Amino acid sequence: MNGKRILLGVTGSISAYKSALLTRLLVKAGAEVQVIMTESAQTFITPLTLATLSKRPVLSAFVSNTDEGRWNNHVELGLWADALVIAPASAHTLARCAHGFCDDLLSAVYLSARCPVFFAPAMDLDMYHHPATVDNLRRLESFGNRIIRAEHGELASGLVGEGRLAEPETILQTLETFWADQPGKSSFDSFSVPPSPGPLPVANRRVLITAGPTQEPIDPVRFISNHSTGKMGYALAGAFVRAGADVTLVSGPTALAVPHPAIRRINVQSAQEMFEATEAEFARAEIVVLSAAVADYRPAFPASQKIKKTDDTVTLELTKTTDIAATLGARKGRGQWLMGFALETDNEQANALKKLHAKNLDWIVLNSLRDAGAGFGHDTNKITVIDKDEQTHEFALKSKNEVAQDLVALVADSLNKHEP
């Protein structure tokens, strides 16, 4: 974010108070922030607050009332910015931008902006789910804008549901992730037209991805787990959604943020919870990527109270967890594609090939712990992919984001070859 120029649009919503924290976070991250407020936004938070935090006068009208009638040129503002972030974006502002109304400074800047535009909607539950709002959000996305989805929680009305403005930390993370995935792009690259999904046949496909570890309780304070961070699965979710897919991510416990606001995340903890969540989504999925490190065994009888330290040793009886890959592979229907992962320490290819056929997978992605920079905890990975025809595809050590792009391309190539 260092040196990025951010236009922050603040509109009339009770959650406008969060724009103060967002401004502070952006400035602390090294960004230059220029706030533009609508007239109604100023009834919820004062321009002085945001001017103080941004270290710039807040703009709200085409002609300044306080600076000798200075003209606030919407075209220059649109060219200056690396990103326009409208947070909170009220239902009224979404409608005006979706239909091209241009009767205030913020909407004029929006229509003039050549930079990426992010809308973070905030409104009450029923307003957010009203067909008019849903249609406006879809229109804005179709123009190439990015939507930072409203969150679930208690609303100002007292209702509980979707409509809360995404937390400022989430908005900042979304921007940081966006630029991390756009190496070398300048602020004047064309974002004014919708990004094309290109020739990749994964566009508009329903993709189901599992990621992260599972935690199997021993007692209320202890569990069995592994070293998975979820980085590979999250990178895959980001790569598929950027290729135009409809992505659902079933995630075990991880500190990672969702890499794209369009990804639907389902949080789970244990292997059984991951199985149940994945099974519930499986029937509608066309591409399933099982990258999670799921525990093979769990304690057979988790204690209801903390186990006290008494003897020098303790014996745990373990029982097998449900094999998610094998279960889904046995149920796989026509038009469904299944990718599994194998982390091996010896006889790598033989073990991976056995798993590929035993679980009725279309691809197996092999990691070897003997390869430096591969496996758990790294930002890089080195993979070998074996497909159901036993063709082997080897890849060099790369960042996990690049590995994810390679896997999406491999899936797309297989779909092109095997589907009419």
C-beta atoms surrounding 112 within 10 Å:
18
- Check if the beta carbon of residue 364 is closer than 8 Å to that of residue 385: yes
What is the pLDDT confidence band of residue 197, given thresholds at 50, 70 and 90?
very low
Residue 313's pLDDT is: 87
β-bridge partners, 249 = 209, 265
CA dist 65 and 294 (Å) reads 62
| Angle at 170 (CA atoms; ends 247, 245), nearest 5 degrees | 15
Task: Specify the length of the chain in residues.
Answer: 420
Q: How many helices (H) and strands (E) does the chain have?
A: 13, 21
Return the minimum-mean-pLDDT range out of 105-109, 174-178, 367-371: 367-371
Tell me the per-residue pLDDT of 362-383, one tens digit each, with 9 for 90 and over: 999 998 777 776 667 678 889 9
Residue of 73, 226, 351, 360 marked active site: 226
Res 222 pLDDT > 90 = yes
What is the pLDDT confidence band of residue 200, given thresholds at 50, 70 and 90?
low
Among 6-15, 167-176, 197-206, 362-371, the range with the most confident prediction by mean pLDDT is 6-15
Q: What is the largest CA-CA distance in the chain?
A: 82
- Mean pLDDT in residue range 76-81: 87
CA dist 15 and 342 (Å) reads 45
Q: Which tokens belong to 124?
A: 């009450």
- What is the Cα 165 distance to its own chain's centre? 16
What is the pLDDT confidence band of residue 190, given thresholds at 50, 70 and 90?
very low
Q: Which tokens belong to 64?
A: 């300044």
Element containing residue 413 per DSSP (H, E): helix 400-418
Res 151 pLDDT > 90 = no
Residue 404's pLDDT is: 92
Res 95 pLDDT > 80 = yes
CA dist 325 and 340 (Å) reads 7
The CA distances from residue 43 to 86, 96, 216, 313, 418, in Å, are: 17, 20, 50, 65, 59
- Mean pLDDT in residue range 3-15: 94
Q: Compute the mean pLDDT over every residue in the chain, rounded to the nearest whole number.
A: 88
Element containing residue 125 per DSSP (H, E): helix 125-129
Residue 231's pLDDT is: 93
Element containing residue 281 per DSSP (H, E): helix 271-282
Tell me the per-residue pLDDT of 113-129, one tens digit each, with 9 for 90 and over: 989 999 999 999 889 98
Q: Would you list which residues are annotated within the binding site?
A: 296, 306, 341, 355, 359
| Catalytic (active site) residue 2 | no
Q: Which tokens belong to 361?
A: 């997978």
Helix-helix angle 18-28:168-180, to 10 degrees: 40
* Domains along the chain with CATH numbers: 5-180 (3.40.50.1950), 206-418 (3.40.50.10300)
- Check if the beta carbon of residue 12 is closer than 8 Å to that of residue 38: yes
Residue 186's pLDDT is: 34
Q: Would you list which residues are annotated within the binding site for CTP?
A: 296, 306, 341, 355, 359
Element containing residue 282 per DSSP (H, E): helix 271-282
Res 203 pLDDT > 50 = yes
What does the DSSP assignment read for 301-343?
S--SSPPP--SS-----EEEPP-HHHHHHHH--TT-EEEEEEE
CA dist 20 and 54 (Å) reads 9
What is the pLDDT confidence band of residue 292, given thresholds at 50, 70 and 90?
very high
For the chain, first and last CA: distance in Å?
Answer: 44
Return the minimum-mean-pLDDT range out of 5-19, 367-381, 383-397, 398-412: 367-381
* Residue 333 backbone dihedrals phi, psi, to 5 degrees: -105, 180
Res 63 pLDDT > 80 = no
* Residue 211 backbone dihedrals phi, psi, to 5 degrees: -150, 160
Return the minimum-mean-pLDDT range out of 300-304, 365-369, 410-414: 365-369
Element containing residue 275 per DSSP (H, E): helix 271-282
Tell me the per-residue pLDDT of 152-171, one tens digit each, with 9 for 90 and over: 888 888 888 889 999 999 99
C-beta atoms surrounding 369 within 10 Å:
13
Res 198 pLDDT > 60 = no
Element containing residue 211 per DSSP (H, E): strand 206-211
| Angle at 246 (CA atoms; ends 241, 250), nearest 5 degrees | 85
